[in-house]
Amino acid sequence: MNPEIRKPVIGFTCGDLNGIGLELIIKSLSDSRILDFMIPVVFASNKSINFYRKGLPEYTLSFAVLTDLTKINPKQVNVLNCWEEDVNITPGELTEIGGKYALISLEKAVEAIKNKQIDGLVTAPIHKKNIQSPSFNFSGHTPYFQHAFGNIENLMLLVAENLRMALVTEHITIQEVANHITKDKIKQKLSILNSSLQKDFGIDKPRIAVLALNPHAGDEGLIGKEEIEIIRPAIKESKQSILVYGPYSADAFFARGQHEKFDGVLAMYHDQGLIPFKSLAFGEGVNFTAGLPIVRTSPDHGTAFDIAGKDKADAASFTASIFECVRIIHARQGYRDMRLNPLKKMSARMFAGAVDERLEEM
């Protein structure tokens, strides 16, 4: 890797203490070669790390324990002790403790990234019910980050190699979806997606496909009028500045492999986008929150209580989230550099290539 590229400091939240988050962190960070690309800081406690480390005999993770972020060791995994007390960890159980300490970890990490003490953030899975509190009244990470950064409108974007799936609506009931599909919201999400594809993925003129809401794209109004009255007008108006196409019937779109012709896809609701995405991502998908002033990624799965503490969790998606976080940080810097000096040749694509080569070796 180019020695001139500064290694970013990446923060890791522990997620629900009873889920697979800490197991994924241990598995991903046990390979010392990952330190060639970033400096890890885990927001948890050394006691919680050691609890799960005992059940993972094949993984060797050494780390430096921090009490503050002024003493980060650039050559080692760092664990910031966010709490000192003994915590009753019960893998696989939905408890108040699991949510309480997940929130402590998250709040400490957000504070650190706001203070520019870390450069990016990888969040382990939380359980959306037991983390609820007066300071976390959200349906998941994405709206939480939106609130934490001044209600900046953002976008849930799932990434796996050249497949990039964005959502107009996220964690709401199917019954509510149609009421949340508006022309302005679609245009807003398209604008964020287009900008992210340029700044975060280095695609100068991205091509974006929009999925229909109804079966068969509404069959010209026979099966719903949202395509005629809302989605098509949003696409038409967005075409003034974005290469956007559709709306496409979701089933035929993926069955015919049309997603391969586009740089990004905008789905109307959660399962419409995530079912095909997870089927095509082969367990290595990454959830990226586009539109934020900071870089935050996470694996594309949940707490997996059913396998927590059993050394069964596959770290592929979590590891991919780490490298995607690092890549996007450098992509944004490369984009800024190119805007300031168009003749400058340092590029995020060069870094991405180095990451890809190294991943093949690991």
Given a contact cutoff of 8 angstroms between Cβ atoms, the answer to whether 323 and 37 are in contact is yes
pLDDT top residue among 356 and 96: 96
At 337, is the pLDDT very low, low, confident or very high (cuts 50, 70, 90)?
confident
Q: Show the domains of the chain with their CATH numbers.
A: 1-152+292-362 (3.40.718.10), 153-285 (3.40.718.10)
Residue-wise pLDDT tens digits, 95-107: 999 999 999 999 9
Q: Sheet harboring 155-160: ordered strands across?
A: 63-66, 77-81, 39-44, 9-13, 120-123, 295-299, 286-290, 155-160, 163-167, 264-267, 207-211, 243-248
Residue 92 DSSP label: T
Residue-wise pLDDT tens digits, 264-315: 999 999 999 999 999 999 889 999 999 999 999 999 999 999 999 999 999 9
Given a contact cutoff of 8 angstroms between Cβ atoms, the answer to whether 14 and 48 are in contact is yes
For residue 1, pLDDT over 50 is answered with: no
**Stretch 139-146: mean pLDDT:** 92
**pLDDT, position 102:** 97
- With a pLDDT cut of 70, the percent of the chain lying above it is 92
At 345, is the pLDDT very low, low, confident or very high (cuts 50, 70, 90)?
very low
**pLDDT, position 334:** 86
For residue 4, pLDDT over 60 is answered with: no
Q: How many CB atoms lie within 10 A of CB 358?
A: 15
Residue-wise pLDDT tens digits, 118-136: 999 999 999 999 999 998 9
Residue-wise pLDDT tens digits, 236-247: 999 999 999 999
Residue-wise pLDDT tens digits, 29-67: 999 999 999 999 999 999 999 999 999 999 999 999 999
For residue 346, pLDDT over 50 is answered with: no
| Helix H or strand E segment including 121 | strand 120-123
At 352, is the pLDDT very low, low, confident or very high (cuts 50, 70, 90)?
low
Beta bridge partners of residue 167, listed in sequence order? 267
At 249, is the pLDDT very low, low, confident or very high (cuts 50, 70, 90)?
very high
At 2, is the pLDDT very low, low, confident or very high (cuts 50, 70, 90)?
very low
**pLDDT, position 3:** 42
